[in-house]
Amino acid sequence: MRLMYVPCGTGNDFIKCVKLPNDPIKALTAQLDGTVKHIDFASANEEYFMNEFGAGFDVEVLRRLDMFKIRFSGLKAYLMAVRQAVRDYRPFVCEISVDGGAFEKKELSVLSIGNGQYIGGGMKACPNANPFDGMFELVEVKPVKKRSLMRLLPLFVLGKHIKYGLASTKACKSVTVRAKDMRYQIDGEIRKADQVTLNVISNKLRFSL
């Protein structure tokens, strides 16, 4: 068996990683004519996902997104939700263990753990993530002042937030995040838990490209 990916969501972010067309028919045709490769996917508390985990400001944006994606699509809807989320912004406090190591307390604006690079219709949350390398990219974005969020957003869109001392990054195979009543998202779907453990499942899916 092989996976065939048909883009028909709001952002269609994962197809950008594998360079498929945004049009569903063109994407399917490209895969039917493509070469079969093995690709990574991931799990969060044993729930499977393909693209990305997020917590913090990222989730606050998603909670507001539904009201905008009725009228707008892709990045524009996401940016409208961002403006509303800025008003209620506060840092995300959690504890993180990487690859079985000790938990460290963190205060972050955004936590992104990516098998793929993009969220929100084209924002490069994890600019070095690669779904063929057997690793996550863990990106921890430092807290910023509320008035700076909109000014820094273009850096996040372009994946340049990992520069200029705004964020730290790390390649890893597993991450555990814990915080009381934590809301997080996997591939744009919001979940709630006090603790979530993420693992890369390497080279297990057959995918046409």
What average pLDDT does the segment 120-130 reach?
88
What average pLDDT does the segment 118-141 reach?
92
The residue ranking higher by pLDDT, 113 or 36, is 113
- Provide the pLDDT for residue 1: 62
- Provide the pLDDT for residue 88: 85
**Burial, 45: exposed, middle or buried (Cβ in 10 Å; 0-12, 13-18, 19+)?**
middle
- Provide the pLDDT for residue 87: 85
Say which amino acid occupies 109: S
Multiple choice CATH, 14-208, 3.30.530.20, 2.60.200.40, 3.30.9.10, 3.20.20.190: 2.60.200.40
Task: Determine contact, residues 32/67, Cβ cutoff 8 Å.
Answer: no
Q: Tens of pLDDT along 55-68? A: 999 898 888 887 78
Q: Which residue is listed with tokens 């990574």?
A: 40
- Provide the pLDDT for residue 44: 97
Question: pTM for the complete prediction?
Answer: 0.88
